[in-house]
Amino acid sequence: MVPVLFYYKDTDLINSLYAQLFSGLVREISTVETGDEDNSLAVEGKGDAGVSTMIAKGNFGIKTTARSSLKSSESRHETLIPHDAVILDVLEKLGPAAKNSVANAKRGNIINIKGSLLFFPKEIEANSIQPMIPFFETLLAPQLTSMDKKQKNALLEIVKSFFKTGSDNCRFIFKTESGEFLTGYMKRNDFTQDSLSLFFKYKGSMIPYQLIGILETHANEKMVGDANEVSFFQGLLGIHEASAEIWSSTLPDGDPVTPIAFFQPVIS
């Protein structure tokens, strides 16, 4: 597989897939090399001429030989950290079964698709809530019509809090080269570059990436309660519907996806 530049990789998901595919997770690879060296020393002499301390004394005039041998060994230990080799092994293993079109994929299929990514850093999303209150009021007019001012303000405050105090994950839209749309979220800590810096690097535009991920079922059915019922559950449904409406009102229809990685091949 050619080298790639990863912009995002879901480390927990990658480790989980690797452990399932290869019956365990490799933390490090160790190799040990050993070598032996034989050093010998020979001494020759006659009689007591300097060799009596190494061998039994010989008679004068008889040639005597002493030999000493010393064997030494050395070893070298190398430890390899798998690092991105783990995700490359996962991608190579899943690659043959991956679909290159959303239309040809089913729930749970691996998809490997080129397209353009637009994501929303949490800092920008959270700080954009207050100026958009008039938009919220217009969008939620059906829900707000039957409420008094106090109830309306309470609902708007709850909806605002969802967008301001939620997790640090970034929502995204991915448009494939064939015009299909995918939606999901990216874990902030799994960006290989700071998400806000990456957003500004590309000036908030859609970024050409390759996505490998898991396609999920598109949910069309919504829970509908009794509009005339006054209950905690009905109240939760109303808040849930209002929050979803705000986020998805202007988005194109898209299928949910869990991204494994966003990347670009490195061209040498």
Average the pLDDT over 198-209 and give the result. 89
- CA 79 → CA 34, 73, 256, distances in Å? 15, 20, 40
**Per-residue pLDDT at 48 exceeds 60:** no
Lowest mean pLDDT among 42-46, 142-146, 191-195: 42-46
Quick one: pLDDT at residue 59? 47
What is the share, in percent, of the chain residues with pLDDT greater than 70? Answer: 63
Lowest mean pLDDT among 76-85, 131-140, 147-156, 211-220: 76-85
Instruction: Determine if the pTM surpasses 0.75.
Output: no
Per-domain residue ranges for the chain? Answer: 5-18+82-265, 31-79
Quick one: pLDDT at residue 215? 93
**Per-residue pLDDT at 29 exceeds 80:** no
DSSP code of residue 114? E
Residue 21 pairs with which residues in a beta bridge?
A: none
Quick one: pLDDT at residue 230? 58
- CA 210 → CA 42, 60, 144, distances in Å? 70, 89, 42
Quick one: pLDDT at residue 206? 92
DSSP code of residue 227? T
**Per-residue pLDDT at 192 exceeds 70:** yes
CA distance 128 to 164: 9
**Per-residue pLDDT at 155 exceeds 70:** yes
Residue holding tokens 């079922």? 217
Query: Which regions of the chain does DSSP assign to beta strands (E)?
Result: 4-9, 29-46, 63-80, 110-120, 170-176, 181-186, 207-215, 255-265
Residue holding tokens 């040809």? 104
Q: Residue 84: left if φ>0, alpha if ψ -120 to 50, beta else—which one?
A: alpha
